[in-house]
Amino acid sequence: MSDSKIHFGIVGAYGRMGQAIARLSLEEDDLELSAAFEHAAHLGMGKPFSIGARQMDFALEELNDSTIKNLAKYPEKVVVDFSLPAALTNTVKVCEQANVPLVIGTTGYSEDQYKHILEASKSIPILLASNMSLGVNLLFALVRQAAASLRGKGFDAEIMEVHHKHKKDAPSGTAKSLEREIMETGFAKKPIYGREGEVGERTAEEIGVMALRGGDVVGDHTVYFFGEGERLELKHQAHSRDTFARGALAAVRFLAGKDPKLYSMADVLNL
């Protein structure tokens, strides 16, 4: 009997998102978590991987050309990366060489890493997303529509994002995606990451991008369009990482068996 399941592995498997994805995958009949990867110095390396109190029948490993073979042997397989930018280059290289589709949820990567991802997507299917929730991806579309409609009509755009105190990059990848949606319409040209001191009057070409950090905030993003005598706010609040984890599992399902190309969550959600 052939294996009809989609087998997947998680890079950053003991991170907050990695654990959320792993836990929710246990509820899915068509998905099978078959590999878990972390950095070489992780204390769980070589020990059975655990999802909360549940111990799996495979060990935590470092991702390399050898360890990915256990995943690559399946007809349908995908790697999901929710690690750190420092690990991303290796993930892309290993997946490309092993011909394994890759979902990337890691943010904060460099321009050179983005170019590497683009090049690799000519060989394997890659889904790159700064945020995997349905609501945020709808927000992207709404912000683009608003920016296109308000362009040249005396409005100023600003972005505010709020995350928990443990988040390492700022501004968030989602905030940068929102910034890009606005800039691609020609609404503005120059992102300003925070303001301090005698900065002078705001120019029409600016987009202010502000980042707040504190507590356990999962993720809030607000885009402001300020006009004379009126203000439009487009906002999304995430209350649980499960929102992003479900999106990641949908991305795994979507990407398995796809042709080499760079995909986004807009493709998954038909937006």
Among 7, 77, 163, 221, the one annotated catalytic: 163
Which residues are CB-neighbours of 201 under 8 A, at least 6 positions away? none
What residues are paired with 51 via a beta bridge? Answer: 54
What residues contact residue 97 under an 8 Å CB cut-off, 6+ apart?
65
**Distance (Å, rounded) from C-alpha 112 to C-alpha 126?**
16
Backbone φ and ψ of 168, nearest 5°: -95, -25
Q: Which of 237, 213, 220, 223 lies closest to 187 in space, CA to CA?
A: 223
**Block residue for tokens 């300020």:** 226
Q: One of 5, 39, 116, 167 is an active-site residue; which one?
A: 167
Give the closest residue to 82 by CA, choosing from 172, 34, 17.
17
Active site residue 167: yes
List the 54-61 sheet strands across, edge first.
48-51, 54-61, 31-37, 6-11, 77-81, 102-104, 125-128, 261-263
Please state the φ and ψ torsions of residue 152, each to the nearest 5 degrees: 75, 15
**Position of tokens 């397989």?**
77
163 labelled catalytic: yes
Q: What is the CA radius of gyration of the chain?
A: 20
- Burial (CB count within 10 angstroms: exposed 0-12, middle 13-18, buried 19+), residue 23: middle
Catalytically active residues are 163, 167
